[in-house]
Amino acid sequence: MARTSKKTKSPSPHRSARTLERLANLVPHPRYGTEVVPSGRLGADDLISGPPEWSKDVTFPESAIPADVSKQNFSTMSHLHWYVDTLRDCRVCNRPFLFFAREQQYWYETLRFRVEADCHECVECRASLRTVQRRRKRYSELVGERELTDADMLALASDVAFLWTKGLLRDEQRLRRIRNRARRQIPGSAATRALDELVASLPK
Ligand SMILES: [Zn+2]
Q: Cα of 178 to ligand 1 centre, how many Å?
A: 31
Q: Cα of 96 to ligand 1 centre, how many Å?
A: 8
Torsion of CA 166, 141, 128, 63, to 10 degrees: -150
Beta carbons of 116 and 77 less than 8 angstroms apart: yes
Q: Where are the beta strands (DSSP E) in the chain?
A: 58-59, 65-66, 82-83, 86-89, 96-99
What secondary structure letter does DSSP report for 90? -
pLDDT in tens, 136-195: 999 999 999 999 999 999 999 999 999 999 899 999 999 999 999 999 999 999 999 999
Closest to 160 (Cα-Cα) out of 125, 186, 123, 122:
186
Torsion of CA 117, 123, 127, 132, to 10 degrees: -70
Q: Cα of 180 to ligand 1 centre, how many Å?
A: 35
What are the residue boundaries of the structural domains of the chain, listed by start? 17-38+55-121, 126-200
pLDDT in tens, 61-108: 889 999 999 999 876 667 888 999 999 999 999 999 999 999 999 999
